[in-house]
Amino acid sequence: MASGIRDKVAILGMGCSKFGERWDRNAEDLMVEAFEEGLKDAGIERDQIEAAWFGTAIEEQHVGKSGIPLAMTLRLPYIPVTRVENYCATGTEAFRGAVYAVASGAVDIALALGVEKLKDTGYGGLPQRGRGGLNNLFWANISAPGSFAQLAAAYRAKHRVDAKDLKRAMAHISVKSHDNGAKNPKAHLRNRITEDDVMKAPMIADPLGLYDCCGVSDGSACAIVTTPEIARGLGKKDLVAVKALQLAVSNGQEVQFDDWDGSYFATTRVAAKRAYREAGIDDPRKRISMFDVHDCFSITELVTMEDLGISEEGKAINDVLDGFYDASGRVPCQIDGGLKCFGHPIGASGLRMLYEMYLQLSGRAGERQRPAPVLGMTHNLGGFPSQNVSSVTIVGSYGA
Amino acid sequence: MSDAFGILSYGAYLPRRRLQRKTIAAANGWFNPGLRSLAKGERAMANWDEDTVTMAVEAARNCLAGMPPAAIGQLMLASTTHPYDDRQNAGIVATALHLGSALRVLDVTGSLRAGTSALATALAVGGNALVAAGEHRLAKAASPQEMHYGDGAAAVLVGRGEPIARLVAAHSETVDFVHQYRGHDRAHDYAWEERWIRDEGYMKIVPAALGALFAASGTTASSVTHFCMPCTLPRVAAGLAKRVGLPETALRDNLAAACGDSGVAHPLLMLAHALEDAKPGDRVLVAAFGQGCDALLFEVTEAIRKLPPRAGVKGALARRKEETNYERFLAFNDHITLERGMRAETDLGTPLSTLYRNRDMITGLVGGRCRDCGTLQFPRGRYCVNPKCNALDSQDDQPFSDLGAKVMSYTADVLTYSPDPPAYYGMIQFDDGGRMMADFADVDEGKVEVGMPMRMMFRIKENDAARGFVRYFWKATPAANS
């Protein structure tokens, strides 16, 4: 019986670039920006890194394929560099690779770095691209907002929710994230908005309006991980350790079989259960201090809080409107501003979420700092509600 | 079961949008004031994702619906607007209809009577044959043709069994009378003066053909109960009836006011319309004009009472949505240059080998049915999708095209590129099992709901303009609209 990842690996240092429309910077510049911060934070030399995982998803827009762009940009000394791509979980997947390498004992110190430069397409939104030879011949003409928007239709039908009530809760989610993002100097969007702004925004994919959608940005983030023993040996105190690293991938049941109703993420439910078991958490609603979930769209966040078992099924609207997930609420969600305000440079996002958890757990989150957080959870979702990859990561104080 | 030979069934299809002729006149009357006198009624207008092949598939499905499975040995697709010059258009229709590969197919073209010529040939050759005719007619802005033309398709199944109509006589005249033509590589027809066409063309060539038909068959004009004469020139059909001695009551509505002249498809559309009204013993005369004249005389049999109900022409006419946006018509027919945005530049290529390997799945919407657990699934994987089964290579072919479905989730997407935004799509659940994320076709804004019944339609998925390739696939359309 595998013992899981809990407390086997500690975060030695993290870095995160400023996210935004970085017109004056290449992807390589953003990578260096994140790496310099991470390396200083870790307090090590570059040559102490023994292996690296590099996350990019739409690499044809910027650095190209393989691990070479990371090795060349950072001048890594001929170490193994693995490039990973797993839709929007790409950044978290890079982290998982580095953590597993350390946990296995194969290396002492490993780097995970994710980057995406999305703003060189010439238009707003994610780059339009093919889905693969056969898929191009039969997949519906879907966009990201269009596929996630369908959650709302199915959720309303299942729980008999009025369209306006659901949209109001979705609006609150975006307003709350903007309130948080306004306090974060690294966020892309730092303006506050009102529920009315959200309700009246131009439609993107019914019922998702402009403010129901996360931004599109350039950015990079990284983590340097090692064993708790080595971290201590390097003088680190109050270690932030990895508690759970789970990933669930659709096998076609949702999109081809008949037992899914379109209103939730089957993968997230599986990954969350496994993560709580791995981290030894029985009552996540009470024990998790804060969340950074994959709020690519407001409806995604709402549904996800049920799939993670924090809100009861069909009741997330109440928690959202009660302010349960606000910065001032019981369990804040997107305390850094989330994808909503950081945008979603795909390869970087998972690591950017962990960066906030790491800052909070280290007591270094400045204006956004929560009182004595113990456990933080991040979540990524890549693909479409009907077929996706869902990652659930828990980090927290070592030994907690 | 009788072994008589003749017409076994018919079907029709019209695109749902009906462009109002007064809309055309309002747009173009400043340039051609004469158009205002034509501004009555409406014309069927192909959606951006419809062409001759897709409309012919729908007409053929309408024709075959409810019919006992017959081994169809021949399929003809008649049109002057086949999407491909070198790729058997009828072969696409055959694959969409799951007719198998033991099949003779012909694309019949070159004249506005290609539809009747194909039908006459099928009747002369014998054997079970499906004759489909479709037309997606282009016309220059502000031309009379833009007013007169319409898009549509019809299909006729001939063969042995219990024919609903048997052929009494057929005659063809071939005369190189060029009342209009379209040269190679030209998008639009070039037409001569209507008065000359009427006097020297219709009024001389058609009577010659009909006279020969009656003389050779020993029948009389007075015995005809339905006269199908697709001619949009005023009073010509009536004049012909009078000249030939057909009963005044036999003259049928040429459907010009309701859907426009669908070219090669139109004589068959009028034939199908006549068969919908006909009683046993009625005689239906169909004529088609174009560098000569085809004339076919049918006698309706008792079996017409037993023909399974179908939407047919009347159903196709009733399935309509008024279109009053002339610019949309121009855009669908590529007659104006729209700024389609950078998202429209995405080039997905056209992998012919991939399409060939998966032609049943893509063109025929064939998925799988698991022999071990009975689960229907699309597409067909090597392993059954049922998590309690997951058997390897356990699935038989399962066509999904005729299975009913319901909307499970949906959206209207303005971000993704669509020639007709917003793009409607969603997850549909087939009533017998299986589901797919499907594009929706012919949806009314704000009218989609979870649980809404849908049916599948053969449509253009995408035009690969860079390579001149049309990619076809199936879309879901509200069953109430079909």
Task: Give the pLDDT confidence of B203-230 residue by residue, as tens digits.
Answer: 999 999 999 999 999 999 999 999 999 9
Select the residue of A125, A139, A153 nearest B410 (Cβ to Cβ): A153
Residue appearing with tokens 């870790």 = A42
Confidence of residue A127 (pLDDT cuts 50, 70, 90): confident
Predicted confidence at residue A130, as pLDDT, reads 87
- Taking all residues of chain A, what is their mean pLDDT, rounded to a whole number? 97
CA dihedral in degrees (B100, B102, B104, B107; nearest 10)? 30
N- to C-terminal Cα distance for chain B? 32
pLDDT at residue number B309: 94
Domains in chain A: ranges and CATH = 10-119+218-233 (3.40.47.10), 142-213+241-397 (3.40.47.10)
pLDDT at B214: 97
In this prediction, residue A320 carries a pLDDT of 98
Q: Alpha-carbon distance B408 to B453, whole Å?
A: 10
Please write down the HEC assignment for all residues of chain A: CCCCCCCCCEEEEEEECCCECCCCCCHHHHHHHHHHHHHHHHCCCHHHCCEEEEECCCHHHCCCCCCHHHHHHHCCCCCCEEEECECECHHHHHHHHHHHHHHHCCCCCEEEEEEEECCCCCCCCCCCCCCCHHHHHHCCCCCHHHHHHHHHHHHHHHHCCCHHHHHHHHHHHHHHHHHHHCCCCCCCCCCCCCHHHHHHCCEEECCEEHHHECCCCEEEEEEEEECHHHHHHCCCCCCEEEEEEEEEECCCHHHHCCCCCCCCCHHHHHHHHHHHHHHCCCCHHHHCCEEECCCCEHHHHHHHHHHCCCCCCCCHHHHHHCCCCCCCCCCCECCCCHHHHHCCCHHHHHHHHHHHHHHHHCCCCHHHCCCCCCEEEEEEEEEECCEEEEEEEEEEECCC
Mutate to test the interface with B, among A206, A210, A212 (most CBs of B within 10 A): A206
Selecting from A122, A150, A251 the residue whose C-beta is nearest the C-beta of B411 gives A150
Please indicate whether, in this complex, the C-beta atoms of A262 and B427 are within 8 angstroms of each other.
yes
- Token readout for B124 is 């002369």
- Is the Cβ–Cβ distance between B231 and B266 less than 8 Å? no
For range A383-397, the mean pLDDT: 98
The residue among A21, A14, A95, A67 whose CA lies nearest residue A350 is A95
> By the 8 A CB rule, do B128 and B159 touch?
yes
Residue in B410, B414, B461 closest to A150 by CB? B410
ipTM above 0.90, yes or no: yes
Chain A positions touching B471 (Cβ under 8 A) are 137
Q: Is the pLDDT of residue A1 over 80?
A: no
Chain segment A254-312, per-residue pLDDT in tens: 999 989 999 999 999 999 999 999 999 999 999 999 999 999 999 999 999 999 999 99
Tell me which of B356, B437, B447 to substitute to probe the interface with A (most A C-beta atoms closer than 10 Å).
Answer: B437
Chain B stretch 379-438, residues whose beta carbon is closer than 8 A to a beta carbon of chain A: 379, 381, 385-387, 408-418, 422-423, 425-427, 429, 433-438
Walk along chain B (482 residues) and give the pLDDT tens digit of each residue.
578 999 999 999 999 999 999 999 999 999 999 999 999 999 999 999 999 999 999 999 999 998 887 789 999 999 999 999 999 999 999 999 999 999 999 999 999 999 999 999 999 999 999 999 999 999 999 999 999 999 999 999 999 999 999 999 999 999 999 999 999 989 999 999 999 999 999 999 999 999 999 999 999 999 999 999 999 999 999 999 999 999 999 999 999 999 999 999 999 999 999 999 999 999 999 999 999 999 999 999 999 999 999 999 999 999 999 999 999 999 999 999 999 999 999 888 889 999 999 999 999 999 999 999 999 999 999 999 999 999 999 999 999 999 999 999 999 999 999 999 999 999 999 999 999 999 999 999 999 999 999 999 999 999 999 999 999 999 999 998 77
Given this model, what pLDDT does residue B349 score? 86
CB B398 within 8 Å of CB B376:
yes
Contact of B430 with B35, CB cutoff 8 Å: no
Residue-level pLDDT at B68: 82
Q: What is the mean pLDDT of residues A318-333?
A: 97
Amino acid at A289: S
Q: Which of B415, B432, B463 to mutate to test the interface with A (most CBs of A within 10 A)?
A: B415
CB-defined contacts A:B, below 8 A: 143
| Nearest one of A351, A358, A278, A387 to A84, comparing CA atoms | A351
pLDDT in tens, B391-405: 999 999 999 999 999
SS3 state of residue B356: helix
* Closest alpha carbon to A305 in A315, A296, A297: A315
Model pLDDT, residue B1: 57
CB A22 within 8 A of CB A119: yes
Judged against a pLDDT cut of 90, whether residue A140 lies above it is answered with: yes
Name the packing angle between helices B114-125 and B266-277 (round to 10°).
60
pLDDT for the residue B129: 97
